[in-house]
Amino acid sequence: MGEEEEMEYEKVVCFFFFSEEMSSSVGNEKSVNPVLRISQLDALELNKALEQLVWSQFTSCFHGFKPGVLSHIEPELKAFLWLLLWRFTIYSKNATVGQAILNIQYKNNLSQTEKYQPLSKHQKLWYLIFTVGGRWLEERCYDLFSNGQLQSFCKIKYYLNFGAGLLKLCGLVNFLIFLQKGTFATLTERILGIRSVFCKPQSVRQVGFEYMNRELLWHGFAEFLIYLLPLINVQKLKLKISSWCLPMASLPNNENTLAVHCKECSLCGEWPTMPHTIGCLHVFCYYCIKSNYLFDMYFTCPKCGSEVHSLQPLKYKIEMTEFHA
């Protein structure tokens, strides 16, 4: 009896694990990995960048021709290029180029089953009509009704403009709903019932905390410097450091010593042009002291640290012959 009980117990355990595996496999087949909002928006931006790149490469082939040679048939050429992109992306792979880069593809959301269902041919054709045909119609109608000779189409132009504005409003409402629910990033996807899903289950990205902490530290330090640097008076700090490194001996306080010994600007170190003083024994060029004083109203002499009491021209004429002597 003991052996029979053990065999029955093993059968129950095996059946339990087998049923668990079957239920998990069925759940995996039914489950569809949702796509983050940022991934869907990134895919749209990649699609726009690819279209601009294709069009720029195509127009670069006609740089040697007469300017404006493609302007008359530009909407048709763009529609033809977008048709080729649709043929080798949506029609064949159920995904745009941006979605393929991000491991995303379209799913037929109108199907009754929860399993992945590719897009039907009708959905692909309507996607072509809404995207490529809609943009071509908008550009061509604008060129057509901009002609002043067709005055009889004013009402049609008005209705078309009204319809275009209504579609843009619907697109805005759809985008707000997308931000809330995370499905159907564009109005075309919502109308056709196509939803973005991941092609394969996404693996969890493991990023080390050391790397994240280092990035956060450097970003915080950079933002702190960006905030702090405009508050630092670099000119005054540089002059202060230069006064510490190159101290000048104190001079006797008389005008003769001022005229004889101070033959260079205390800021630029050259022969003073239009020499002026600020109330101390040092001489400055007029433009040097005036620009520094306008920049910093609390400017002090870099040699002795005296504040600017009054900006006065030097009374004694310092000749170049004295400097050479």
- The ranges of the chain annotated as CATH 3.30.40.10 are 257-315
CATH of domain 257-315: 3.30.40.10
> Per residue in 42-80, pLDDT tens?
999 999 999 999 999 998 888 888 888 888 888 899 999
CA angle, corner 199, sides to 28 and 53, nearest 5? 170
Query: Could you report the per-residue pLDDT of 162-206, keeping only the tens digit for each?
Result: 888 899 999 999 999 999 998 899 999 999 999 898 877 665 556
Does 252 score more than 90 pLDDT?
A: no
Q: What share of the chain is helix, strand, coil (3-state, %, to 5)?
A: 60, 5, 35
Six-digit token string for 67 = 């300017």
Q: Is the pTM of this model over 0.75?
A: no
Q: What is the pLDDT of residue 152?
A: 60
Cβ burial, residue 95 (10 Å; 0-12/13-18/19+): buried
pLDDT band at 147 (very low <50, low <70, confident <90, very high): low
Q: Which of 27-31, 33-37, 181-185 has the highest mean pLDDT?
A: 181-185
Which 3 state secondary structure label does DSSP give 276?
strand
Across the strands, what pairs with 195?
107
Q: Of 99, 86, 290, nearest to 195 (Cα)?
A: 99
Whether residue 303 contacts residue 296, with contact meaning beta carbons closer than 8 Å, is answered with no
